[in-house]
Chain A
């Protein structure tokens, strides 16, 4: 049990320190790398409490896909410069009120969560779903999500679909004058369409692209 506690504290320490470093470090790319470290240590914590499916999905989705795209954007857009300008400028920024509002809301949410800890035993009694400890948590998750909560599950899928279509609509633009390759056209060309034999008259030449 002691080894378990030591490992838990190591991971949580890494998670907290890297979360602080995300906001503190001046280089934005470093911030993203710290964010990735944070994700990884949190998924390790998930695995430690026995939620191995959640931990692995966290790794695959957040670290394997989301953070890669994040890193992409940060590397391409040169956010670092903007951030430094913002830090060094003496004028007041318009971002402060919004940031303050968000952080106050997060602070109250945290208070509610930590306050709810006190009622944990009562909440555990009121859980309607029976937890079968013989099943792996992948199986028990599946048996709940695809039966009792199927509508919510489908609904969240719809939300993601709408977001995806929205992103495509926002970024889609029809460009003119782009030459596209069509494999079928290329393959279905035969000698007749490609080659034409012409008797060229002297000093007249041939008309191309007629």
Chain B
């Protein structure tokens, strides 16, 4: 009986995390379109509900009632599996995100490695979708996306090493608590910039949205998808973007910590701070989508391998020698 109780309690906790994430993904799509529109002096979605907030729900309803078309020459099992993989991987990563000192679903020892592993698995949804469609544009999109994500993962990994050198633990709560005195965005500012740009590339956001460059590849790996399956790709993509924002705020912006430990700030509950930081990073993501033109593919690769990777490696050496010289290495 006790086991059953634990089982139901866990399910309740998982739902308590997943449903807000899914709802906020829907809201974030609205926010993305709104920011984009404001930059371009348009109004954006403003008809359905107050300020157009329910636009995404209306879109989702439309997708649900659309027919799912599976191309005759596709590899059907993998074709159906691809959006499921994308969506699942985008959601399971939220299990380790700490919203406060106590509010975390799974406080595992190797939290940051788990996040990194899940985000590197994200490429499979795209490759599977592109390959199983059995047509030219999706396949080209999938190959581009795989190369791009593998390249930028390398620099993200090295940047994570920078942060870990300052923390001395792979646990996400420890990473946040290590920033009590100073957020890592200040000593590691160049790394924060590189992380941010790599996160754009990792989530296939503009200006690095070459896998779905509509001018060249129709819609990239999603070309053959329709209805609910397309919506799942789309939800997974935005959940991934939110996840990258969460990762950025945990690694560099002090996670759930308030900026200063003074009266009006430290009354606000911890999860609100994390959400505010995620929103801040997301608005930056949305602004960049609106103001930067798309990169060319060779420029993208050059940026990843020839600029970001050496820079972040040099910074690892610098951080390590600085910590070593001033005897600041975290030892426990």
Residues of A within 8 A of B (CB): 3, 27, 29-30, 33, 36, 52-53, 56-57, 59-60, 63-65, 68-69, 71-72, 75-76, 136, 138, 181
CB pair A53 B110 closer than 8 Å: yes
Minimum CB–CB distance from B89 to chain A (whole Å) comes to 11
C-alpha spacing A88/B261, complex, angstroms: 73
CB pair A52 B110 closer than 8 Å: yes
Q: Which residues of B contact A71 (CB under 8 A)?
A: 127, 146
Residue of A nearest to B128 (CB): A33
| 24 pairs of residues in contact across A and B, judged by CB atoms under 8 Å | A27-B75, A29-B131, A36-B124, A52-B108, A52-B109, A53-B110, A53-B113, A53-B170, A56-B113, A56-B116, A59-B120, A63-B117, A63-B121, A64-B121, A64-B150, A64-B153, A65-B150, A68-B127, A71-B127, A72-B146, A75-B131, A75-B139, A76-B143, A138-B170
CB pair A60 B170 closer than 8 Å: no
Q: Which residues of A contact B75 (CB under 8 A)?
A: 27, 29
CB neighbors of A among B309-329 (8 A): none
Interface string of B119-159 (1 = CB under 8 A from A): 01101100110010000000100010010001001000100
Q: Which residues of A contact B143 (CB under 8 A)?
A: 72, 75-76
Residue of A nearest to B150 (CB): A68
CB pair A57 B109 closer than 8 Å: no
- B80 interface hit (Cβ, 8 Å): no
Residue of B nearest to A40 (CB): B121
The interface centre, meaning the residue of B3, B121, B146, B157 with most chain A CB atoms within 10 A of its CB, is B121
Q: Which residues of A contact B139 (CB under 8 A)?
A: 75
Residue of B nearest to A58 (CB): B117
Q: Which residues of A contact B234 (CB under 8 A)?
A: none
CB pair A60 B113 closer than 8 Å: yes
Q: Which residues of A contact B113 (CB under 8 A)?
A: 53, 56-57, 60
Nearest 9 CB-CB pairings of A with B: A64-B120, A56-B113, A59-B117, A136-B109, A60-B117, A52-B110, A56-B110, A56-B117, A68-B150
- B114 interface hit (Cβ, 8 Å): yes
